[in-house]
Amino acid sequence: MDEFFFSLPIDSKRSLCIGPITRREAANLSDSSLGDGTGLYLFVAENSPDGEVNIIARIGSYDTAAMFVRMLRSGQLPALAA
């Protein structure tokens, strides 16, 4: 799979992102139904080097991720409220 990453600012401290997650973030999924950490995820990241990442969902395919990004960019899906 080609590298895929998307980021949209929610406010001055957080961004809505689609992309792969780190091993540390994947380890936090061990008790979750969100998968094993591979593939693409929808998550909210704090805009700091060691900021917290809150995973919202696993995205099943590159095509689904690209469609979701197009919808966000076109305004068909509003960004998350603060």
DSSP, res 39: S
In the chain, where are the structural domains located? Answer: 6-74
In this predicted model, what pLDDT tens digit does every residue of 25-34 receive, in sequence order?
888 887 777 8
In this predicted model, what pLDDT tens digit does every residue of 45-80 receive, in sequence order?
999 888 889 999 999 899 999 999 998 888 777 665
In this predicted model, what pLDDT tens digit does every residue of 35-52 receive, in sequence order?
788 889 999 999 988 888
Rounded to whole angstroms, how far apart are CA atoms 9 and 37?
Answer: 23
**Which residues, 6+ apart, have CB-to-CB distance to 32 below 8 Å?**
55
Question: Residue 55: what pLDDT?
Answer: 92
> In sequence order, what are the beta bridge partners of 45?
15, 53
pTM of the predicted model, to two decimals?
A: 0.82
Measured CA to CA in angstroms, residue 53 lies from 23, 25, 60, 80 at distances of 12, 7, 19, 15
